[in-house]
């Protein structure tokens, strides 16, 4: 591991941290992360691609006017015909891109657009060189640069597009213009080395894009995660609860909240030390994480020795059973606690509350009921569940 990534040991376990540590010189992530990256890239570049396509159509029209002025021969009508076909294709693609319901087609449509521009420009250059050998062909390099930098293609896609454009250009020159081989080699090398510089720049750009993706996702995880236990923190809990509450309203499901408090934890810290206390918090966090394994459940560290488990689509009786199982699981761990007035081992008190979406209130009400139940559990001897 490089020195700059030594800090990743402090944020594991995390797929983002693991991928950063492993590296991605070949511009590939593990399969789940690769799919996530491509979806993020598609969403981030949506507006950029629409703008790039609009600018491309305007430039394409400008070159059509340039052809009409520069080429005074019947071939100009063939050239304008090619430009018209490409323009119509770009208009269709633009119409599809304007509709967000086709956003899943963004990448293939971008490939089609850049290939249409490149192949069309190659054919136009081949036709023009039949009449005027001095007709500029350097515009092909601009199309290639657009595939590397403006359209948001990944390096592999940009390389394939540029190679196809170059091969089409060579074929057009040989079949349409019968260009002398030495000059064709010179032009091809110019385009080839231009593409090489574009590929290097595109590699660096995509590498940094992938690195930024991993770091930003990792920072998001850290912002929503308790650093000691790996559970959600209070900030994440408050935000996620609003989303789950709206979903519960739509689906008419109930939500249950388990508020958990480690009994006499201050006495445990005083007797065994803060390092042992941190170890206990991590073990309790692991138990709560196991209790919230369903996709919409959530385990949270609210602060200190206070934890919460939010359970989706569950009634009060089931929630109480979950809480009792959690309490007993901690007790069977038999973690010695000589400073406890409740038991000889570490125990937990749990307050349970359940609310249905058709009822009024939200997090504040649910939390208030669970907190009141927790207070009763602690007042009547601790190491018990009250619902």
What's phi and psi for 262, nearest 5 deg? -70, 125
Supply 50's token pair. 């629409």
E strand or H helix at 262: strand 255-262
Q: Which of 259, 279, 298 is nearest to 346 (CA)?
A: 279
Q: Which of 327, 345, 209, 177 is nearest to 258 (CA)?
A: 327
| Catalytic status, residue 305 | yes
Q: Which of 370, 142, 356 is nearest to 260 (CA)?
A: 370
Supply 134's token pair. 């001095």
| 10 three-class SS | helix
Exactly one of 157, 305, 359, 368 is catalytic; name it: 305
| 147 three-class SS | helix
Query: Cα–Cα distance between 189 and 170 in angstroms, integer?
Result: 11
DSSP H stretches of helix in the chain: 15-22, 31-44, 46-70, 75-98, 106-131, 139-145, 155-172, 181-223, 234-251, 265-272, 274-291, 316-332, 363-379
DSSP state letters, 157-177: HHHHHHHHHHHHHHHHIIIII
Query: Cα–Cα distance between 106 and 368 in angstroms, integer?
Result: 47
**Which residues have a catalytic role annotated?**
305
């Amino acid at each position: 591991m490089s020195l700059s990534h030594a800090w990743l040991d402090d944020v594991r376990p995390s797929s983002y941290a693991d991928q950063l540590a492993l590296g991605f010189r070949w511009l590939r992530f593990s399969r789940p992360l690769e799919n996530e990256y491509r979806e993020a890239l598609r969403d981030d570049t949506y507006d950029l691609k629409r703008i790039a396509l609009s600018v491309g159509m305007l430039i394409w029209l400008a070159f059509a006017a340039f052809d009409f002025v520069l080429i005074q021969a019947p071939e100009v009508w063939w050239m304008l015909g090619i430009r018209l076909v490409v323009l119509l294709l770009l208009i269709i693609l633009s119409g599809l891109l304007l509709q967000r319901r086709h956003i899943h087609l963004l990448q293939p449509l971008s490939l089609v657009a850049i290939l249409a521009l490149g192949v069309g420009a190659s054919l136009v250059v081949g036709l023009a060189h039949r009449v005027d050998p001095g007709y500029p062909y350097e515009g092909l390099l601009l199309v290639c640069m657009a595939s590397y930098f403006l359209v948001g293609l990944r390096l592999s896609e940009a390389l394939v597009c540029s190679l196809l454009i170059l091969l089409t250009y060579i074929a057009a020159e040989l079949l349409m213009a019968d260009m002398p081989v030495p000059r064709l080699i010179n032009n091809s090398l110019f385009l080839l080395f231009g593409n090489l510089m574009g590929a290097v720049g595109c590699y660096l750009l995509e590498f940094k894009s992938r690195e930024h993706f991993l770091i930003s996702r990792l920072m998001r995880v850290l912002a929503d995660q308790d650093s000691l236990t790996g559970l959600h923190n209070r900030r994440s809990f408050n935000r996620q609860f609003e989303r789950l509450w709206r979903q519960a309203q739509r689906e008419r499901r109930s939500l249950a909240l388990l508020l958990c408090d480690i009994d006499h934890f201050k006495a445990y810290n005083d007797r065994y030390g803060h390092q042992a206390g941190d170890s206990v918090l991590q073990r309790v966090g692991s138990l709560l994480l196991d209790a919230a394994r369903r996709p919409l459940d959530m385990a949270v560290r609210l602060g200190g020795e206070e934890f919460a488990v939010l359970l989706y689509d569950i009634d009060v009786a089931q929630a109480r059973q979950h809480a009792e199982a959690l309490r007993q699981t901690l007790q069977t761990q038999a973690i010695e606690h000589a400073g406890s007035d409740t038991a000889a081992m570490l125990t937990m008190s749990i307050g349970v509350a359940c609310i249905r979406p058709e009822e009024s209130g939200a997090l504040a009400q649910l939390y208030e009921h669970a907190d009141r139940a927790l207070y009763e559990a602690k007042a009547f001897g601790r190491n018990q569940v009250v619902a």
